Structures are given as structure tokens and as C-alpha cells.
Structure 1
């Protein structure tokens, strides 16, 4: 990931095009840095063409007077003067290696990161480093990907070499915008002075409006045929643009160096000041500020990429030698509150957002349509989680409001079938749910849950909540824990399962004694509620398979199936016309493959009347929710009177940016289904006979089983991207600190002995994780590499087994 040093300023040099003078100007920058007494390093990651024309050789040739303070090198060199991705293939063909694989982006990034660390640690005096890319911003890397994407994990501040020729205004601005879309910090635009096209006259005010400094220098003299004369003339040219002269006392590269140094200092000062400023001004969610002792407890996230934050290293900021990086990678162990789908700063999602923003911005939606919303609705209904049962899609702005919409739909549908209810009766209607449920923090969503830590003074719990049996792995065995309230099944408090696949093959379990016990328990509870005059229930609301905020409770899917069958009067399958109670599936957390399945309907063998998807839906880039509804639910709002419509909406209902990003995310998920990592994970969780299991996990089955056997671990459980570890604690519950205490060392980026580092750049990394009392959970993106996951498993094992 990104590195930052007090004494070691690094800038990456991108060009707006080929032949814009990147090497000339980078050579001049290196000379100007050396003139100021700075140890200077020049790095060309990839070079193509003859050795005598190589850029690092040019730098060494024209900075020989500074040979003790300038070091130039190249990491990957190819003979053919063509695009890097093609040069790799030509070299392999010349060597007769038709099966050769191009170096991956990760290989290139790791090599660069290692060089940066090596040079940063080689000196304690102020030093500069310039890393020159090849060609234009989007010239291919060795793998064939865009350079702008290849180098993004390093997140180096950037110098953009503008184009001074005809068409250069457009190419410079286009390059700037391409870098900006990927989050690069652009400190300066540098280009040759041209008195005919005068591109700088246009670009200076353009970039000044965006707070970016533009500098110009004279172009180099024409190349002379005589090598010795050419050297003299070129050497004189470099001297003229790197030091002030009587003719041009201000506009020289020394001013650029001073500006780059100033940008570096400002970045350091801002990062240094952010903890206190945040501590003094911000009210954090889900944080007891009385337990935050001061600015030292604040995590500063400088950037994020893939599965990692780049955070400020408190040790580095205190390191007086200046050799330690002030930034370190930290694995985003909660997927940023369960939102990340394909990692941070995914360029495809960023481009989708920009595409919709540029075309629409935001537009009104009632009785209107735009293409992103239409495509999203059609896809979710006909080819996604609504396939076979959903008729309409209502698009809102986040999971909690999506659930508010679902509750309104269900309650209206119920009241229309019960005309005997007066207005006061309608206001007292409740929902049936499970203990530990959580549907969001808006008041209506909270009212659909029992009293708990998330509720507030206005909370009015409206309903009844059953004790759910849960699935977990205890001491290497898969167990179903039956709650004490389920007295109709006295045989055992725990039911052992032969395999994880058996638990989730619900249809095969419907005629078991446990299914009969579940049905009896549910019916008795409902009968008892009615006899004692409890709230009249108007809907069933469940988080299928996994209840997240309630403590990562993996509910026995058989129980949820029996529950749905019971409230519907035993009708199963798709929901064309709801019966008994309308059923809502809150799939905000678990939906769209978070727990290995697109939707829980096929697992439970029943489909809802209403469901809500969010979080994964937009890849974690921005909020959006979709509430899907069956035809009979939709028709409950059809009338000639507007007051009977679903009068619910938001200013940003179906915002085009979110809809377009959701469509892009779903396209990426379609490709992930065929990825090697998913196929390997599915194979590792296959049934004993090799047949595919209905559920699977990206976490290794042997690791999950073995860690459940550790003395301080009560149980583990995993599905899809989620791993939950429950710590043994007599005072278990949300307010317990046992999980936080047991795993505190994971935050430390210090690399444990024998643990493979797999963060971008190969740096040791810490793990940012969240706990729910005695439960610690870890969550990957849907495309987290197996290498990264294995590294996390190693860290978890060493932390828990060694404590």
C-alpha cells in the first residue's frame, strides 16, 4: 500500500501522452533536487527498447556531476521498443517460451514498494524519489492493464507532464481527469513552453481553478548528430532550467521542487492534525465517547484500495529517525460495515458513478424513468433475487429506509384483508420476528425489533419475537443449538450435524423430529400470544440465514422455513398471492452472495412476499436499497384515490448514480461466479461424496474447524465471506469486551513470525475488525484473493492459539 516518510519525498511522474518529455523533465527534476542537497533516486519500473536509449541511462548520463547523490535504475527491461504488454510477449516468443505469463500488476507493485522501502531506509537525510511511468496515463502495464490502475495501490503523489503540442490541451485535461477518477493526488502539472500553441496559457488558469500549480520550462534544443556536441548542448540546457538565471529568475524547476516539498509538508501536517480535529468535532456512530481517551484512539484513513485501508502509523509519526513509513496497510476486516463487495476504489464502479453523474446528475423519479433504474429493476425482478416471485421494485436510499418501505407494504396489505380493524387497531398492529433481529436505526425499523441496545426513548416494540435455534461449529463439530424455550424438543440442547451441507438441505429435513418440534413450538407461542391478548400480528419479518447485528447468529434454516410455512398456513414455494401473514425477508446484509447464495429463497425452499436488498448492491461505493414486492402486495395499493398509494419517497429516490453503480456491481458478480477462487472454495466445502454443497465459504474449512477447538473459543461459524468467532465469556452479550480483548493484537501491523504478508506492496498489515460483545467477526469482499484470506487465517491462528 501507500508509504509516506518525513524525510523521503516520493512523486510518480505520469505523461499526458507519449513523447511529451517525461524523461527530460524527470531528469531535470532529479538534477534540481540534487542541487538542493537532496539524495535523489530515479526509478523506471518498466523500460522497452534498446539499452542505449533507456531512460535510466539517460538520467545517469546527464546527472553524472551528481553521481554521488543521484541513483537511477530500472526494474523490468525489454528490448523491443513497443508497448510493455507486447514487449513481454515478443521477448517470450524470441526465447521460444509460448507459455510465458506476463508479470502481474501485483509483482510490479511489490517490486516498486520494496525499492521505495530500501531507498527510504538507506538515508536519514532529506531525499527525493521520482518514479517515471511509460507512455501515457493509460498505456498498458506489463499485464495489459492500464498503468493508472496498475500503480494505484501505491497511491503516490503525482506529477503530470502536460502536452505542449497541437491537441495537448485536450490530452492533458483528459489525463488529469483519468488520474482524478482513480483518486490520485496531483501536485503539479509541468510542460514545455511553446510560443505557437501556447497550451500553458489555457492550462494555467484551468488548473489554478482546481488548486493545482502549473509550471513551464523551455523545450530542449534539437538533437545534434554529433554525440559529443549533443551532450554539451543538452547538458547546458539542463543547467538552464534547473537553476535561476538572470533572464528567467522565477520560472525554473527550483520553484517546482519547492512547491513539491511544500505539498509534502502540508500532507504530513494535515495527517498529523486530523486525530485531534476529529476528536474535537465529530460524533461517531456506535462509539461510546467516554471510552475514547483521546486523539491517540483515532484511526486516520489516508486512502483505501482493494481490501485494505492505508492508515497513519502512530509509531511512525513518533519515529525521530524518519525512516519508518508513516502509513501502513490495514485489512478492512468488517468490509466497512458489510458494504464492500469488490474492494475499495474499484475503477469500474467509479467509472459507472461518473458515467451516470455526467449523464443525469440526479433527476426526479415519480412517474418517470431513466435507464439505470429501469435496468436495475428488470434485472432484480427477472434474473436476480426476485426471480419467480417478485413483480415490482421500489428503489430507496439505504437498507433501513428500504425496510421502512417493506413494513408499510406489508401492513397495508394486511389491513386491507381485515376490514374489521379500526384506525386505533391498525396503529397497534405488530410483527412477528426473531430475538436478536435488527433492521436499521430509523424509528419504524427499530419498532420492528424487541427492546435492546440499539433502541431509543421513542422505541415502541410492536410485535413478538421467538427464540431462534442457531448453527455453529463447536470443538470441530457442526451443532444446532436449541434454545431452552423450545421445551417441545427435550431430547437435547444441541443437535449434531453430519456436515454443513446437511444443515442447509432444508427440504430433506422437513420430516425430522426437530422440524416437528419447531412447528409445535411456533404454534404454541402464537396460540399463547393470542390467548393472553398480545399484539395482533400483521407480518413476519426475518433476516434469513444470518442475523448480523444481533451477534452474527446463524439461524437454523429449517426453523425459518417452518416459521414461514406456519404463518402462511403451510403454503410453500413462490409467493403469487400472500396468505396468513405477508412475509418480509430482510436481506440487506446477507443478500447477493454475501453468505454464498444470491438469495435465501432457494435455501429455505420458500420465497417472501417482500424483500429488501442493499449494501452489496452498490459494491460499497454509495447507499441504495431496493424493496422487491409480489404482485398481490403491489395491488394492495392500487386504487382511484391517491391517498391509497404508497406515499413514501426520498429526494434521492432511485438516484441514477446509485442505480448505475448497482448494475455495474451485478455485472461484476456475474463474472465472479465463474472465478477460480470461487470454484476452489466451493470444491473445498463439497459434500463427502464430492457433490456440490448448497452453501460454501471463502474461509478454509480445516482452519474454521481447528480454530473452534481452541480453549478460549466457544464456537465458530462461516458462510460465504463471513467468519464469526465466539469467545468463551461468562458475561456474554453485546456489552462484553472479551472478543475485543482477545484479538487486540490483530490491529498491530507487525508481521508475526511465519505469517505471509499479502497486502499490496508486500508490507506487513494489521487487521481492522469489529466485535459484537463476545463475538468477533471477519468479512472479506467477494473478490478477496485466497492469498489474502490465508494470511488472515494465519494471523488469527497465531493470535488465538498463542494467547
Structure 2
């Protein structure tokens, strides 16, 4: 895993130039001469060896230890000069980290200056911009500004490119120039950014005679290198390093005193177990635990983000494409009010979703801020539409919803009322569970066998069955004519008939999470049961109330009850498909999407509805309308980032980016719409299911859920997964993993860009933990 190295006694800096031929190596030399125990690293160098930068350092900063990883003879851009076995960015980063490790093993102190090649966006040998390639390191920057004509613009552009990618700028240095006075303008510019600019007298002009050139340059180094301005520059870098350490060390304690965390019982919180995240890149946090302060000299260490930042992360932390999209829309719009207006990002996103969800029922897109509020909107839509059709003669607070046990739709009061009583709501004074929630069969791999396990419901006691593959479980069309499907339909019909006719309950919507009920414990519902539930609800118009209007002519109009799918967690490729509804092979009337919508960058939610739902709010008075909204409704930044994210994930779906994962599950079949796959290999899932401590496993898309055996406690009261969680966070037997648990369920979630190499490393580490019996 790539890491942002921060060591207590080894100070690291990246030296970037606003352009090429600005004197980066000369600045490096000045810093090395003024820093004890100094090290210089040039990852990639091009041009004749006699002119190589590391040779210059060895000559004029003789006490520094020097290393070049890749030297190419041609004086060209690295992507053109590299020949043969061209190193990729990860290989170069590993080389950097190996060199850092050697320094630690040798003396573990001093300073390391890594000098890049050319300008900020000069390419690496693989063609990637340096600004992106070195981002996982996120070392503080020494930026060498441009003193030439046009240098002000080049220098500011270079700074903005680095700033946009999350780098910290420690100092700007440049040569003085009497003609253009760039340093005067830029000093004022950077001072307003809180960054010091150091202007250094220009070195002597190059002499064609090598000996004379070196003699003059040596004299210049002796004079300028010992000046107060250079010494102060080197000292300021040391002070900023100490300040950074102090801030990181103190954050957990300050947070403990001031922060109220979500979903957290604070009696178990202390500064020692709060993870300080300094940055994040790709799949990893760069984090620090206060409890490790006296044990390790390494301050920051990479940790795999095992919850995909609570299920939102799709394209990797610090993704430059998403950052640029956010910056562009912020610069173009900021935020503009949405009621009665339209802007391009919102319109494109609505069109994008409506097109690619491939649900002909959905025609309208409503914007909100997050999944819970999106579900509030969906509930309002569905219940209002049902009332307009049935005109129940009952108080509004007696109207309920149909759902599944263990469902969870958010923490706002309306969304909370759509779920049964649970740990999440039992102490909320205004909560009133409104509805009925079916227990349901679950899909699990148990001891190497894919199984549909019946719930503890007498009517479904004998529906448990085994399958040769997960694809068979999701082959809805093949299973629809089975005896199990008939039992599902009969069970749902008889239950609803009793609830309505005997218990006098009134329902206004069917609301459920397709395939996986996330917060309920990563419960994987039998897709056939969910399909049959929707079928039965849609055929029950005479059951739910007498229609007060003539039958709709729209073939896509809702019937029975409006069907709402909460795809906040499961949608947009989390389970390997653009829409989780496609896995059930049935379309909802209302569909809610958030989390992966913006690739994990900014909050945004969309609630999509059919015209027959929309028409229920058309009337002559304002009170007939859907009176719901947010100050930041359809904010342009979120919408533009969402369009960028969805486009990139659709390209990955089409260009074979996930093919190696699909191959591990039998590959993608063009004729079998039920084909399913996971980033976690089926062989690994099968091995996990056979572990003594494991009750069952489920994997789909980027989600892996392991239910651990716990005879004493069940569900959220269980602490059995905590030991495995702690074992993985230690990093003693593989990559460090930051994870969260749901009672006895341990889950890991990848982003949609996680590499197969990373997945395999995590699988091996997890197997070690399970085999060692790492549980409390």
C-alpha cells in the first residue's frame, strides 16, 4: 500500500518545479548543504550521465547521500526517454519507500529531498502526471517558482495544481530577477496563502569550460549557501515538520473533548482509540493512532479503508478527476438556488440516471442531500400517490408501509418510521414504527455451499435449498415457476390478507432495500422472494382499498401499492450492476440513489419516480405540490461530480476493468442476465465459509460479509467480530485494515477501483485472522 511517510526524526519533502530548467537541483543542493544527515533521491532522471542531477549533488553537497532510481540517456520527457521494461507509478513509489526504509534502518534521522523531473505535470515514464503519481506520498512541497517572463502565471498554475490535489506547500523558492521582479509579485501572492517565498540571488551564468563553470558555481554555493536567507529557509522546513507532528499528536485528544461521533457509544471512546486521518489516497487512509505514539517512530501508516468510507467510496480517495470536476463546477457556479431554475449539471444527471437505470417506469428526478432525506421524499411521494388513489377514511398516522425485517432507511424521523423497532430507534421518543415487516429467506454460503436459508416462519419452513452457484440463485426467470416461488407468493398473499382484512391495517407503500439490507447486518435477501413480494403487492389493488379513479391508461403506472427501492447503498455498481433492481428483474415505481452517486466525494441524493407518482401532486393549490426541498438542492458541484463519477464507472463496466474479477465467478454471460460476480473470489469465499468460527458468508460486487458464530448473543448485541477487527487493524500479519462491524457480522468493502492485487492481499490476511481464531 502506498503511504504518506511521516517519521518523527526523518523529514521528507518533494521538490517540484513550476516548469523545467528552473534550478530545482540547485535549490536541492542549497537545502542539502544546510541540513544535517541529508539524503537526496531522484526517482527518474533523463539526459547524459555527465549532466545528471545526482552527480551535481554529489559534487556540491558532498555530505549528502544520493540515489537515482531510473536514469535514461536521452534528454527527453521521461515518458519518451524510457525504454525497455518501463516502470509503472506503483513500482516507482515502491522504490521510494524502499529507499526511505533503508534510511530508517541506517540512521532513522535527517532529511530526505525527493526531486521531481521537469514541471508539476511533466509525465512519469508511464505517462502519468507527476502531480498524480506522487500524490500517495503527500509529502510537503518545496515549489521552485519561475523567474522568467511568464513565470508568474506558470508558478501560480503549478501551485493551484498541487493545492487541488491535496498537497501542503511548505515553501516557495526562486531566483531573483531584476528585470521581471516576479519574486516581488509572487511573495505577496503566497504570503496571503500563508506560505513563505524565499528569493535567492541568481547563480552565475554557465561557462562552456566545465572546470571554470564548476569553480564559479562552487564559489556561489559557498557564498549563498551560507547566507541567512538559505539557512532560515532550511530551518523553516524543520519547524513546519515539528508543527505538523504536534498537530497530528494532539488531534485525537482535542477531538475527544469536542466531537460527538455518529453511531458511537462514547463510554468506550478515548483519545487512544480515535484514529487521526491525515490524508487518504486510493483505497487507503494515512492514519495515526495516539496509542502508538510511544511505540512507533512512524507517525503515519496506511490503512485499507475497509468500509469504503461508510459505503460511499467508488473511485478512490483523492481522485484527481473528481477533484477537478468539483473545482470546475465550483468556479462556474458556486451554488445556485434550484426552485424554478435549471443548470446543466443537474439536467445532465437527471438524464444520465433515467437513461441508464433502464427502468421505463421512472420519468422524473427529485434532488436532495443524502440517503435519509431521499427516502423521506420517496415516502412522501408513495403515500400521497396511494392516498390519491384510495382516499382511505383513516387518520394519516395509521397508514403503514410494507417492508422487510432488519431494514433501515435513515435516521430522519419519517425514514426511521419505515423500519421496525430496532437498536437504531428504540430510544427515539418520536419514533413509531408504521407498518409490517416480513421475515425473509436469506442467501448465504454455508460450509462451501450456496444456500437459501428459510426464516423462522412456519409457512416457509421447508423452502431452504442449496445451489451450485450464486448465479443460480439470481436466475429469477428459471426459479419463478418453482414450488418455492409458489410458496413465497402464497405466504405473502395470506399474510397481507390477514393484516388488511382481519387486523384492519392500511398500507400505502412497499419499501425495501434490494438484495442486501446494509445496516441491518448485511442481510442478503433471496432475490426470488423480493421479486415475488413485489408481484403480489402489485396485483392487490382490491386488497389495499377501493380505487376512486378509473384505471390508469399508462402501462407503467403503479398498481396495488407504489413500490419504493432504497438503492442508497446497493445501487450504482456497489453490487456490480448500475442498478440493484436489475438483479431482482423487477422495476420499482420510486428509486433512491446516493452514496456511490458522487464516487465518495460530496453528499448528494436523487429520488426518481414514475409519472403516475408525479401526477398525484398536480393540483390547483400549492399545498397539493410536493413541498420538500433543501437549500443545497441539486448543488452544481455535486451534480457535476456525479456525472463524472457515473461516466467513469460505466466506462469501467464496459472496458473490461472488472473482467478479472468476473472471470473468478464464471465470467460475464451475454445470454444469462442472472450472471453475478464479486471482487472477492469465490474460492476465497468458499474457504472462509469452512472456517470453524464462521457461520456463513456472502459476497457480491465490492461487498464481503462474514457472519461469525456466536451462541451467546445475536445481532447487534454480539461483540464476537471485535477481535477480528482489532487483529486486522494491527497490521501484524498483512496490510493494516480499518473496518467497522455490525454485531456478529464482519464486513469489508472495496472501492470499484480496488486492484486485484490488493484484494488478494486482503483475502490472505483475513484468512490468517480467521484461522488464528482472532475473535473476542
Cα displacement (A) at 1:4: 1.0
- 1:531 CA drift (Å): 3.4
Bigger CA drift: 592-601 or 209-218?
Answer: 592-601
In the alignment, which residue of structure 1 is the partner of 2:253?
Answer: 276
Pairing partner for 2:697 from 703, 709, 716: 716
- The CA deviation at 1:639 is 2.0
Match of 1:95 in 2: none
Find 1:346's aligned residue among 319, 338, 342: 319
Unaligned runs of 5+ in 2: 542-553
**Counterpart Cα distance in 1 of 2:770 and 2:670:** 32
Counterpart Cα distance in 2 of 1:689 and 1:636: 41
Does residue 86 of the first structure (1) align with residue 80 of the second (2)? yes
Q: Given that residues 739 and 747 in structure 2 are in contact (C-alpha distance below 8 angstroms), is that contact kept between their aligned partners in structure 1?
A: yes
Is 1:77 paired with 2:62?
no
Tell me, in whole angstroms, the C-alpha distance in 2 between the residues paired with 1:689 and 1:545. Answer: 20
Aligned to 1:267, the other structure's residue is in SS state helix
Q: Is 1:600 aligned to residue 580 of structure 2?
A: yes
**Counterpart in 1 of 2:27?**
25
- Conserved in 2, the CA contact under 8 Å of 1:380 and 1:387? no
Q: What does 1:612-691 correspond to in 2, within 5 Å?
A: 612-686=592-666
Tell me: CA distance 1:580–1:331, structure 2 relative to 1, closer, same or farther (3 Å): same
- In the other structure, the counterpart of 2:515 is 545
What are the within-5 Å matches in structure 2 for residues 197-596 of structure 1? 197-244=180-227, 250=228, 252-292=229-269, 294-314=270-290, 317-319=293-295, 324-382=297-355, 384-419=356-391, 421-422=392-393, 425-455=395-425, 456-485=428-457, 487-491=458-462, 494-569=464-539, 576-596=556-576
Contact kept? 1:430, 1:535, Cα under 8 Å: yes
Shift of 1:316: 5.5
Residues 593, 599 of structure 1: 8 Å contact kept: yes
Partner of 1:109: 93
Q: How much does 1:670 deviate?
A: 1.6
| Secondary structure of the corresponding residue to residue 421 of structure 2 | coil
Q: Within 1, Cα distance between the matches of 2:313 and 2:690?
A: 30
Give the C-alpha shift of residue 686 in structure 1: 1.8
Is the CA contact 1:373–1:654 (under 8 Å) kept in the aligned structure 2? yes
Say whether 1:149 aligns with 2:141: no
**TM-score using structure 1 length:** 0.92
Task: Say if 2:738 is the partner of 1:768.
Answer: yes
Matched, 1:5 2:7: yes
Map 1:772-791 to 2 at 5 A.
772-791=742-761
| Residue 575 to residue 130, structure 1, CA distance change in 2 (3 Å) | farther
In structure 1, C-alpha distance between the alignment counterparts of 2:319 and 2:507, rounded to whole Å: 44
Q: Is the 8 A contact 2:449 2:467 kept in 1?
A: yes
Q: Is 1:699 matched up with 2:670? A: no
Q: Give the stretch that moved more between structures: 5-14 or 648-657.
A: 5-14
What's the TM-score, normalizing by structure 2? 0.95
Whether contact under 8 Å (1:13, 1:161) holds in the other structure is yes
Where does residue 121 of structure 2 map in the other structure? Answer: 138
Preserved CA contact (<8 Å) 1:113 1:154: no
CA contact (8 A) 2:275 2:290 kept: no
| Contact 2:669 2:675 (8 Å CA) reproduced | no
1:718·1:724 contact (CA, 8 Å) conserved in 2?
A: yes
1:120 aligns with 2:66: no
Stretch moving more, 647-656 or 589-598: 589-598
Contact 1:343 1:783 in 2 (8 A): yes
State the 1:595 CA deviation.
Answer: 0.8
What SS class does the counterpart of residue 410 from structure 2 fall into?
A: coil
Matched, 1:172 2:155: yes
Structure 1 SS opposite 2:293: helix
Aligned residues: 755
Q: CA deviation at 1:72?
A: 1.5
2:590 match:
610
Q: Say which of 723, 727, 730 aligns to 1:748.
A: 730
Using the alignment, how far apart are the partners of 2:350 and 2:513 within structure 1? Answer: 22
**1:47 and 2:19 equivalent?**
no
Q: Distance in 2 between matches of 1:443 and 1:743?
A: 31
Q: Structure 1 residues 742 and 27 mapped into 2: Cα distance closer, same or farther (>3 Å)? A: closer
Check the 8 A contact 1:314/1:326 in 2, yes or no: no
C-alpha displacement at 1:575, in angstroms?
Answer: 6.8
